[in-house]
Amino acid sequence: MDEQKATFPQACLETNSSLMSRPPLHALQGFVAAARLGNLSRAAASMNLTVSALSHQMRQLEERLGQPLLIRQPRGVTLTLEGQRLLDQVGPHLDAIHEAFQPYAARAEHVLTISAVPSMASAWLVPRLGQFVAEHPQIEINLQSSERLIDFERQRQFDAALRLGSGQWPGLVVEPLFDEWLVPMASPALIERMGGVDRVPLTQWPLLGDPDGAWGAWFALSGQRPPSRFVAVLDDSEAHHRAALDGVGVALGRVTRARLLLDSGQLVALSSQRLKTAWPHWLVYPQRSASHRGFLAFRDWLHAQAAEHVRHMADAHL
């Protein structure tokens, strides 16, 4: 018993010493906020603290380091040389910690983060999204539009993506949505200049695109040879859509992405014939999303929308 009584206080001292040697992370967060904002009031508000509580933390931090870090002024704070050195050393590490936790903050069941290419998002998904929001007001949609593919292992805040491609994405759940179709389309102004849709063969119209690309497959459907020269070759399908809108020429446009333009009459299909592309639309997601209730509601809704789109395409006069 005497031996145990002698060693217990020493163990407590060692524990307290270990705790004292740990960096005061909350105070360091407050210091970085104050240093970057240059104002204790704004820094305190950003951390949900009172100004007096943050000021107390700063005094304790300065006492612990034995160095003044902040120069208090009537309209804010500035850094001492030692304060600037501490900010340079600590700031990037706190930023890295914040970045590392961001993906996990978005895993709440009511928050859903989806990636889609900009044209697909604006032309197909967003016009329908109001219905989903009305049916599921408790779910917060975070839609990120980008041409870049999502790396679900590194960008864990993403729950799913809408992609156009072959469907070969190993390690992910891949579900088909609908096919993509191509059809020649032009502006009403160009049609008027050409004297109407059927006045001259399509080979005599100003065509946009690559003669060795999808146009070759299009003309092969009717046994025709494509013209050897097109008026312009642009860098992507959206550029061709924009050029067609401006009356530059005829685009072999993607029906899904140009649907709103066709429905509004800004573009007119020049043929009822369609060419199916080799790249359909897919819903892609990591296996972990299968346990996300918000995603499961979105998935069911999305497939219903895709089925309706397929029925509409079957009935459309294109």
| Domain ranges across the chain | 2-105, 111-180+279-315, 181-276
The CATH number of domain 111-180+279-315 is 3.40.190.10: yes
Cα–Cα nearest to 142, from 124, 165, 125: 125
Count H helices and E strands in the chain, helices first: 12, 12
* Dihedral sign (CA 282, 125, 210, 183): positive
| Average pLDDT over every residue of 100-123 | 77
* The CATH classification of domain 181-276, taken from the options 3.40.50.720, 3.30.750.24, 1.10.230.10, 3.40.190.10: 3.40.190.10
Query: CA-to-CA distance for 270 and 11, rounded, in angstroms?
Result: 86
Instruction: Report pLDDT for 16.
Output: 43
Query: CA-to-CA distance for 79 and 43, rounded, in angstroms?
Result: 14
| Average pLDDT over every residue of 307-312 | 90
Checking 166-171 for CB contacts under 8 A at 24+ apart, the result is: 166/278, 166/279, 167/280, 167/282, 169/284, 171/286
Hey, what are 66's tokens? Answer: 């034995």
DSSP bridge pairs for 72? 77
DSSP bridge pairs for 77? 72
Instruction: Please tell me which residue, 160 or 23, carries the higher pLDDT value.
Output: 160
DSSP state of 90: H
User: Which of 16-25, 54-63, 204-213 is modeled with the greatest confidence?
Assistant: 54-63
At residue 159 the predicted structure's pLDDT band, cuts being 50, 70 and 90, is: very high
Cα–Cα nearest to 86, from 16, 24, 18, 20: 24
| Average pLDDT over every residue of 296-313 | 93
Instruction: Report pLDDT for 117.
Output: 87
Instruction: Report pLDDT for 125.
Output: 93
At which residue do the structure tokens 């993607």 appear? 254
| Average pLDDT over every residue of 132-148 | 90
- Averaged pLDDT of the chain: 85
CB 233 within 8 A of CB 242: no
CB 136 within 8 A of CB 122: no
At residue 317 the predicted structure's pLDDT band, cuts being 50, 70 and 90, is: low
pLDDT at 20 over 70: no
At which residue do the structure tokens 């006045």 appear? 199
CB 190 within 8 A of CB 148: no
| Average pLDDT over every residue of 247-272 | 90
Mean pLDDT lowest among 119-123, 164-168, 177-181: 119-123
Q: How many C-beta neighbours within 10 Å does residue 31 have?
A: 26
pLDDT at 82 over 50: yes
pLDDT digits (tens, 9 = 90+) for 42-80: 888 888 889 999 999 999 999 999 999 999 998 889 999
- One DSSP character per residue, 133-158 reads HHH-TTPEEEEEE-SSPP-TTT-TT-
pLDDT digits (tens, 9 = 90+) for 219-233: 888 788 888 778 888
- Termini Cα distance of the chain: 93
Mean pLDDT lowest among 88-92, 106-110, 252-256: 106-110
The CATH number of domain 2-105 is 1.10.10.10: yes
At residue 273 the predicted structure's pLDDT band, cuts being 50, 70 and 90, is: confident
Instruction: Please tell me which residue, 287 or 17, carries the higher pLDDT value.
Output: 287
Q: Do domains 2-105 and 111-180+279-315 have the same CATH topology?
A: no
At residue 105 the predicted structure's pLDDT band, cuts being 50, 70 and 90, is: low
At residue 4 the predicted structure's pLDDT band, cuts being 50, 70 and 90, is: very low
At residue 162 the predicted structure's pLDDT band, cuts being 50, 70 and 90, is: very high
pTM summary value: 0.63
Could you tell me what percent of the chain has a pLDDT over 90? 50
Buried b (16+ CB within 10 A) or exposed e, 274-294: bbebeebbbbbbbeebeebeb
Could you tell me what percent of the chain has a pLDDT over 70? 89
Query: CA-to-CA distance for 305 and 313, rounded, in angstroms?
Result: 12
Single-letter residue type at 86: L
DSSP bridge pairs for 78? 71
